[in-house]
Amino acid sequence: MSVQLSHPAPPFNPKAEAMLSAIGGFPISDRQLFLAGYSELCRVDLTDRHAVEICGASGKLAAAVARTFPGARVTGLDLWAPSGPEPEEWKCTLPGLELIVGDAFDLSAFPAESVDLVWGQAALHHLSHDLDTLCREVTRILKPGGRLVFVFEPMGHNLAVAAIRAMRMAVHEMGDESNLYISQFKRMSAFFSTCEVQMFNLLGYPVKALSDRFGGISHLVHELDARLFGMFPRLLRYGANANVILTK
């Protein structure tokens, strides 16, 4: 199964804009990446459907999806129980949302072919040590035509980006981080019928120190990246970040 590389451009799904609050502490310079990824979560009307977030932490993005599709059943799964005032508030205001404790590698809580969408945000690179188990579990619970979406993942083909990340990880002692590679997506695609990888941040990553502070610079860099990706498609693999969309 081949992996299709792309660089999506605006306009994005209007519903995705309302979900940007779920970005949390991620850089605002990646706004287009998140809009593209959230558009994939909104591609199909989830009303009367079941969507599951894996590695969802507090459940902020799961709550955003439940708010966007009030008629959907949305389950947020993480290794630790959510805490704080927001999850308590969601219990009252979002009846379709459920936050549970569970392991992305063990989805036995969900019957076979019972879920329409599975997604994770900045999650796949924490699960890449056992892709086969992950894919087997997800494809078991997905309905035919269901999708697995990962938003905001780090890529490792760009050596300059890899070097910058390595320095950041060493400075901040970030032990649970790793880059992803297209070869891994090809391995995952064997479990699915299609695999699309949306690439971002060719030049955008090296200038993040500026573009995270000045939105105008971020816009210009996005425009330049789009032109370079369009003129030289082989550069797509060297994007620093990606969204991954797999269809059963």
- Could you read off the pLDDT of 195-215 as tens digits, one per residue? 999 999 999 888 877 777 776
Q: Is the pLDDT of residue 97 over 90?
A: yes
Give residue 215's pLDDT: 67
Residue percentage of the chain with pLDDT more than 90: 73
What residues does 246 pair with on adjacent strands? 148, 195
What is the rounded distance in angstroms from the CA atom of residue 33 to the CA atom of residue 202? 12
- First vs last C-alpha separation in the chain: 12
- The closest of 119, 134, 136 to 52, measured between CA atoms, is 119
pTM here is 0.95
Query: Using an 8 Å Cβ cutoff, are 143 and 88 in contact?
Result: no
Mean pLDDT of the chain: 92
Give residue 171's pLDDT: 76
- Could you read off the pLDDT of 29-86 as tens digits, one per residue? 899 999 999 999 999 999 999 999 999 998 999 999 999 999 999 999 999 988 778 9
pLDDT average, residue stretch 211-239: 89
Give residue 32's pLDDT: 92
Least confident span in 4-8, 130-134, 211-215: 211-215
Give residue 84's pLDDT: 76
As a CATH number, domain 4-247 is 3.40.50.150
Q: Which residues contact 113 (CB under 8 A, 6 or more apart)?
A: 140, 141, 142, 143, 144
Give residue 55's pLDDT: 96
What is the rounded distance in angstroms from the CA atom of residue 147 to the CA atom of residue 138? 9
